[in-house]
Structure 1
Amino acid sequence: MSKVNFKQVQWYAERAAYAYDSPEEIRKTFPTTTRVVTVPGTNVQYFIEDLPDKKAQLVSIRGTANMKNALEDAEYLQAKDKKLDIYVHAGFGEDSERVYRDLLPHLDKDKEILLTGHSLGAAISTILMMYLQEEGFQVGQSINFGQPKVTNEAGAALFKSLPLLRVIDENDVVPLLPPMSLLNSIHGRYKHFGTEMILLEGEFYVFQDEHVQQETKSTSFWSNMTDISVGAHMIKHYLHNIKSKLNHSKQIPFEDRKQYIDS
């Protein structure tokens, strides 16, 4: 993916943003929505949109705008997921399993399944991609925003072929969580998978494949502490930084990104 389609990225981001809205507003904005629900036992709302022109269904999952909760999640331990036979973040995994049980009866195996989400919604979206692949669904291009890490190195290696693009803001702390610690690394350190796009100021962005991520260690939490901005995690900030790249965008090397950080 040498050139990013920012109109496509915006299309996904708008749906990740609307997942925070009321069911009435979601159905009004996306008339082909077939289901909007807050899953019992969670604070997670999702909606399913039927896309006849794509022969697909899109699942958009609400995240959290509560940075305090996100930071508290940073030290959560990993737990073995019985469906996937890998270790995942315990809190994200529990919510994902509940969402999956609610979602599954409403999906069509004859259609491609696309997913998106922001923050916690992005974490759940990624775990759902893994569940759906194991269930035999056609998992299509999925894009999420501000996703924290959800699994360890072994889990990331197993699912690295999934068609996932993670969009992050250079100043956003959440994609760097959970940071390395003795408690949460018992089963191997947390690691992202999928391709990654880093949003910078104006027209500029960084695009990385998995190999580059490993070499540059862009997911290091502690080395990025000085650039953290709570506002940078908000979905409206993501939408703003995507919009600035619609007419013209320029990819820059990862090592040059500090020159283009939106402060």
Structure 2
Amino acid sequence: MTLFIRRLMLPCVLLLSFSAFSAVPQAQDTLSFPALQTYARLSSDTYADPGELSDRLMQQQQRLVHQAVIADHQVSYFLAQSDGVQTLAVRGTANLSNVLMDLDIKLQPDDDLGIILHQGFKAGARAVYQDVQPYLNSEQPLHITGHSLGGAIAVVLAMYLQQENTPAAEVVTFGQPKVTNMTGTDQFSDIPLTRVVTSQDLVPLVPPISPMQIKDLDIYWHMGEEIILLGNHEYSRTRGIKSMLRATKAMNAVPGEDNLHAHKIATYRQYLDELNEQAEEIPYKTDISLFGLSID
């Protein structure tokens, strides 16, 4: 297939995608920044020294139920409980270069879920799922959160829980990369996922939409609502094709210090603190047209 044909196919795929996903439920009108602050702090706590974790959680009225480091999969997480709610937080990485390198992996079929999936995230999620089972309370709702690769593992973990008819009540991720394709996203569209990103964080944009990557007309695709933290007390909300079109801007991007800073969980917490004081929603504009028709 020539490069010209691939480039011609890209807008067609996006246009068809827009139609296919136009029926996805829209975002709720209300957005709780205090709740997002809580998830961001818990995601930040996954990077804390294990010996300090219990005390840090107690300061948030959270009780540490279990923490583990699964060395074989380079994954660590903790399970906490507060006011009858369980929260599972998965650690990611703050090293942007390692994240982008780790994501250079093709999707592979997952027989358990019946979709194609990033295999590294699958392995991490399965390891956490098996390890945490004895500590989960079936009588309490489960919330899941994570930053960076930890966010990706959190999403796949939510897929396994939903398949086992024990769905998570809420999933909130920060700087999370894509984990599956359009078909996988559609199959698990019921997962109550909120993806928080900063505008200069490249990790949520990879792998980007590229004509060279179109093979089976089923590209990497994000699920859930996207909250874009813009700084200066501003934010945007989007999902579906608008969310994915942001990835086209990262095709030729070279990671720099600004991108590294934008990916840090500390940056997410700073922006959320500002928004909790004062927030203004800005409509997200792609400034992209397909066949002369504006996506906006």
Give me the TM-score of the superposition, normalised by structure 2: 0.79
1:220 maps to which of 239, 244, 248: 248
Mapped contact 1:46–1:61 kept (Cα < 8 A) = yes
Mapped contact 1:78–1:187 kept (Cα < 8 A) = no
Q: Quickly say closer, same or farther: Cα 1:7–1:224, change in 2 above 3 A.
A: farther
1:39 maps to which of 66, 70, 86: 70
Larger Rg: 2
Query: What amino acid maps onto 1:196 in structure 2?
Result: E
1:91 equivalent to 2:116? Answer: no
Map 1:62-73 → 2, pairs under 5 A: 62-73=91-102
* Structure 1 portions without partners, runs of 5+: 258-263
Look up the match of 1:260.
Answer: none
Query: What amino acid maps onto 1:20 in structure 2?
Result: Y
More off after superposition, 148-157 vs 94-103 = 94-103
Q: Quickly say closer, same or farther: Cα 1:187–1:165, change in 2 above 3 A.
A: same
TM-aligned CA deviation for residue 6 of structure 1: 0.7
Mapped contact 1:17–1:235 kept (Cα < 8 A) = yes
1:13 maps to which of 40, 52, 63: 40
1:28 equivalent to 2:88? Answer: no
* Structure 2 portions without partners, runs of 5+: 1-27, 288-296
In structure 2, distance between residues paired with 1:162 and 1:40:
28
Q: Deviations over 1:85-104 (max 9, x none)?
A: 11111221122111211122
The 3-state SS of whatever aligns with 1:65 is coil
Q: Quickly say closer, same or farther: Cα 1:88–1:158, change in 2 above 3 A.
A: same
TM-aligned CA deviation for residue 138 of structure 1: 3.8
Query: What amino acid maps onto 2:276 in structure 1?
Result: L
1:234 equivalent to 2:264? Answer: yes
Query: What amino acid maps onto 1:242 in structure 2?
Result: L
Give me the TM-score of the superposition, normalised by structure 1: 0.89
Map 1:111-150 → 2, pairs under 5 A: 111-150=140-179
TM-aligned CA deviation for residue 30 of structure 1: 1.4
Q: Percent identity?
A: 32
Q: Deviations over 1:20-74 (max 9, x none)?
A: 11222111111411111101302211000012x2x32100010011212111123
1:48 maps to which of 73, 76, 79: 79
1:210 equivalent to 2:210? Answer: no
Poorly superposed stretches of 4+, deviation over 6 Å: none
Q: Deviations over 1:97-127 (max 9, x none)?
A: 1121112222122221100000010000000
